[in-house]
Structure 1
């Protein structure tokens, strides 16, 4: 196969969850070939290993089928959203898409997972993500520092409440930028939050 590269493939954020169509799966199989390695990740992305020389061609075909393609590895993952069970408008589907467009694929010292819940039920488990967003009526609460792995799993801590729809993408990107600028090497995000403190992050990002 020669030199290869991994790409992250995901369906668009939509009501009902992470829904692939049969045609999209068929497209993936057709364009990557029978020798490709495809991994289902815990953050709702397919990691697909493809020939580097065919990257542009394959990405274009996947995007044409309605899929989204992002870098794999040490980047901010595409938004891990809920199923929008309260409806697209009430749960903030369009806002989630705007946030995803702002954050997905940003290079980071370690991979960053951002969760989004359209209501306080939190079915997407946003408080177990590095950054969690919870819609509360017409504004949003932002949590940071969650860790789901290991025996010392911890929920994220509330950083700010009452963030408007217009302010939300900028708040999240500022947090990610502050982490990039101040992390020590490959410091995990939750450890970064503990070291820097909520107060300093709030002072620099809000």
Structure 2
């Protein structure tokens, strides 16, 4: 149990990528064990619970929660865990393995400002990919990648298509490149949508194409 005397650290917790945002009683019990009775838990729109735990117990809490199937992420200027749809047509048809692998690769990466990625398994876009920083839409057996969406504020806007008809490995590579150019060129606490506007979509495409070409030559 938390003593309340130690400095606290924020952790983001969810049930991972599955058919909807669900938690089991066993997971809730494990979660409650490390929280005081009057502790407030923030439920975010990104399918995460934000909890506060004492700094000295972060690893213990993380290990215990992961044992019951919960996923634990850092809070701050990192790539958040992937927001997804409910995979209503089935894991394989809507690309759950691809979503899980994408989340494994990017969640927790350092970036200039908190970045929100989203994925949906069909053009219905239930995972709201077009109003998040990075959005992926699966169309049949290929993937479209959108960037720069923004859900809030007077300058709210949908993301713009960066590249369409990607295979899963091409998707992973392109997202890695997008995050890298943001890390290299983004200003401190500059949101990704503002970065895309300032840096320019054409420049982003050129960077990714050039990096992909260099990597391809290196592999040869």
Q: Structure 2 length normalisation: TM-score?
A: 0.90
Partner of 1:4: 8
Alpha-carbon shift at residue 35 of structure 1 (Å): 4.7
Aligned to 2:136: 133
Number of positions where the alignment pairs a residue of Structure 1 with one of Structure 2: 205
RMSD: 1.1
Does the 8 A contact of 1:88 with 1:94 survive in 2?
Answer: yes
1:103-122 per-residue CA deviation (whole Å, 9 max, x = no partner) reads: 10111111100010100000
Aligned counterpart, 1:184: 187
Give the structure with higher Rg (CA).
2
CA contact (8 A) 2:34 2:53 kept: no
Q: TM-score, normalised by structure 1?
A: 0.96
SS at match of 1:167: helix
Q: Which residue in 2 is equivalent to 1:61?
A: 64
In structure 1, runs of 5+ residues without a counterpart are none
Is 1:107 aligned to 2:110, yes or no? yes
Q: Deviations over 1:79-105 (max 9, x none)?
A: 001101111111000000000000101
Alpha-carbon distance between aligned partners in 2 of 1:37 and 1:175, rounded to the nearest angstrom: 35
Alignment partner, residue 31 of structure 1:
34
How big is each residue's C-alpha offset from its partner over 1:123-143, in whole Å with a ceiling of 9 and x where there is no partner?
111000000000011110000
SS at match of 1:24: helix
Unmatched 5+ residue regions in structure 2? Answer: 210-220
